[in-house]
């Protein structure tokens, strides 16, 4: 039987990760039969995770939907989750939604804009360890992580303004995992904890440091980090600090 200390730290479910990626992403790639384009700042999500593209009425996608025989167009939307901090292999996950684009019936407020709603039939999450399908019912019930829209700013602030704190957090990592490590960089953040990237000369490992209590809103982040730093201060694992270099 595994000991409690060997238990895997809590982390968001696959459905929560998908919702978080969709919520935080600014850009996406749309692929239809014979057409592919990149869009920036064009999608919105409602409370149930339903996605809408808001485009100019004269764009190719709007015209293709309007000309589709049944008024819907088969499409694949791809989102890439990229670590905000400067590390190697920055792509953390890819989300793919497949379904049908139809006119949503609302304009963009720009006078000649249209809204295209995606009726999703399949959602896939690829974290680099293999792709998995995510149930549509799970996506409806799941919510985006409360830090999804704040993660980039918080991680960059921690890395750029508090490298000493990052070095102290590294004390919470098992000593055997720090052997040969050249740099430690925060690479992920969610309501359950913070993930550190341990960079070696030609490889890297990611280690999650769980919060004592999952946070409910971004304002609680500072308190959770201070609790981790207090634990690191009394941790006997490292006699010398590991420098966190930018």
9 vs 152 pLDDT, higher one: 152
Write down the CATH number for the domain with range 151-233: 3.20.180.10
Tell me what pLDDT residue 115 has.
95
**Any residues with CB less than 8 A from the CB of 187 and at least 6 apart, and which?**
83, 85, 87, 92, 155, 195, 196, 197, 206
Q: Where are the domains of the chain?
A: 4-141, 151-233
Phi, psi of 105, deg, nearest 5: 90, -5
Q: What is the pLDDT of residue 5?
A: 45
Question: pLDDT band at residue 1, thresholds of 50, 70 and 90?
Answer: very low
CATH superfamily placement of domain 4-141: Electron Transport, Fmn-binding Protein; Chain A (2.30.110.10)
DSSP state of 218: G
| pLDDT, average across residues 169-193 | 95
Residues 6+ apart with CB under 8 A from 103: 65, 66, 71, 114, 115, 116, 117
pLDDT computed for residue 113 by the predictor: 86
pLDDT tens-digit map of 46-82: 988 899 999 998 899 999 999 998 989 999 999 999 9
pLDDT band at 238 (very low <50, low <70, confident <90, very high): low
User: Of 87, 73, 95, which is closest to residue 27 (Cα–Cα)?
Assistant: 95
Same fold, 4-141 and 151-233: no
**For the chain, what is the mean pLDDT?**
90
- Of 144 and 234, the structure prediction assigns the larger pLDDT to 144
Residues 213, 198: Cα–Cα separation, whole Å: 24
By 3-state DSSP, what share of the chain in percent is helix, strand and coil, each rounded to 5? 30, 35, 35
Q: 29-60: buried (b, 16+ CB within 10 Å) or exposed (e) per residue?
A: ebebeeeeeebeebbeeeeebebbbbbeeebe
pLDDT score, position 198: 97
How many angstroms separate the Cα of 45 from the Cα of each of 20, 50, 52?
A: 11, 5, 6
pLDDT reading at 6 higher than 70: no
159 Cβ neighbours under 8 A, 6+ residues apart: 85, 166, 185, 186, 244, 246
Reduced 3-state DSSP string for 144-204: CCCCCCCHHHHHHHHHHHCHHHHHHHHHHCCHHHHCCCCEEEEEEEECCEEEEEEECCCCE
Predicted confidence (pLDDT) per residue in 104-156, tens digit: 854 444 456 899 999 999 999 999 888 999 999 999 999 999 999 999 999 99
**How many residues in the chain?**
246
């Amino acid at each position: 039987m595994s000991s409690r200390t060997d238990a895997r730290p809590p982390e968001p479910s696959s459905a929560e990760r998908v919702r978080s990626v969709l919520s935080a992403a600014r850009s996406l790639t749309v692929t239809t039969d014979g057409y592919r384009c990149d869009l920036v700042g064009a999608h919105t999500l409602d409370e149930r995770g339903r996605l809408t593209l808001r485009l100019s009425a004269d764009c190719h996608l709007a015209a293709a939907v309007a000309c589709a025989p049944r008024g819907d167009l088969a499409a694949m939307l791809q989102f890439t989750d990229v670590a905000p901090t400067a590390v190697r292999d920055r792509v953390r996950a890819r989300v793919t939604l497949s379904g049908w684009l139809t006119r949503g019936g609302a304009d963009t407020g720009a006078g000649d804009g249209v809204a295209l709603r995606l009726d999703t039939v399949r959602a896939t999450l690829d974290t680099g360890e293999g792709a998995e399908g995510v149930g549509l019912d799970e996506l409806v019930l799941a919510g985006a992580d409360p830090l999804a829209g704040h993660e980039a700013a918080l991680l960059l602030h921690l890395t750029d303004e508090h490298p000493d704190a990052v070095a102290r957090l590294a004390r919470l990592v098992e000593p055997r995992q720090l052997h040969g490590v050249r740099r430690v960089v925060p690479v992920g953040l969610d309501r359950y904890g913070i993930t550190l990237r341990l960079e070696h000369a030609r490889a890297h490992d990611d280690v999650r440091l769980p919060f004592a209590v999952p946070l409910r809103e971004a304002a609680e982040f500072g308190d959770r980090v201070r609790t981790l730093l207090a634990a690191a201060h009394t941790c006997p694992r490292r006699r010398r600090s590991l420098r966190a270099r930018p």
